[in-house]
Amino acid sequence: MSEMQKTRGDWAKFFGTWLRHPVKMGAVAASSDEYCDEMVSHSTIDLPGRILELGPGLGAVTKALLRAGVDPARIVSIEYDADFAKALKQRFPGITVINGDGFDLDATLGDGGAEKFATILFAIPIVNMKQAERQALLQRYFTRMTPGGKLTQLSYLWKPPVKPVSGFFDVTCSRVIWNNIPPARVWIYSRDNTNR
């Protein structure tokens, strides 16, 4: 199968799943290579520890991590959709794929919060959540990261999907990636240590 046929097939599968479960999908189409590379460039993949990917879909960001030279054994991908998780396992046999809930890491990972990750890259849908719930979610994510680790989020929103929490985390954004459907940017969340 050619790369173009695979891309068309992925697009059709992705869009079909979005049509069936729009609230559970963080995107309407697979992200472009340029957008995924931008996300990885703002992630703290150089820190020690494994890398946590939430809502990998069919692996667009996973491919970007591999293009950046990340050892597949460092990647842990949590995918809610069982068909997508199965496809990820087939495409990327060296990574850890978990069919589970990225909103509840302790239950999904089953480690009681023990493992700390170098970075978390996420594309799970949070726009239907209240702002306070989004902030609480990110605060929980930060407890699962090594010092200096950053969270990066794919989003089509033009303002921060999660507002910063003073004394806990700040937010910045990347340039707009026009070569994506729709155009989007990466939101970068880092610890705010000003009051610590």
pLDDT at 24: 46
Instruction: Provide the mean pLDDT of the chain.
Output: 87
Q: What is the mean pLDDT of residues 29-57?
A: 94
Is it the case that residue 2 has pLDDT exceeding 50? no
Please list, residue by residue across 22-41, b when 16 or more beta carbons sit within 10 angstroms of its beta carbon and e when fewer do: eeebbbebbbbeebbbbbbe
Tokens of 139: 């605060």
Nearest to 174 by CA among 38, 53, 33: 38
Question: What is the spatial distance between Cα 91 and Cα 98, in angstroms, rounded to a whole number?
Answer: 14
Instruction: Calculate the dihedral angle through the C-alpha atoms of 88, 91, 96, 101, rounding to the nearest 10 degrees.
Output: 0
Pick the CATH number of 3-191 from 3.40.50.300, 3.30.530.20, 3.40.50.150, 3.60.60.10: 3.40.50.150
Tokens of 185: 């940017």
pTM of the prediction? 0.84
Is it the case that residue 87 has pLDDT exceeding 50? yes
Task: Give residues with Cβ within 8 angstroms of 50, minimum separation 6.
Answer: 74, 75, 76, 96, 115, 117, 118
Q: What is the mean pLDDT of residues 121-134?
A: 92
149-187 pLDDT, tens digit per residue, is 999 999 888 899 999 999 999 999 999 999 988 899 999
Distance in angstroms between the alpha carbons of the first and the last residue of the chain: 54
pLDDT at 4: 42
Q: What is the mean pLDDT of residues 69-95?
A: 96
Tokens of 14: 């992705």
**Total Cβ atoms within 10 A of residue 147:** 8
For the chain, give every domain's residue range: 3-191
Cβ 20 vs Cβ 88: under 8 Å? no
pLDDT at 28: 53
From start to end of 114-162, where are the E strands?
A: 119-122, 151-155
Q: What is the mean pLDDT of residues 83-105?
A: 95
Q: What is the mean pLDDT of residues 36-65?
A: 97
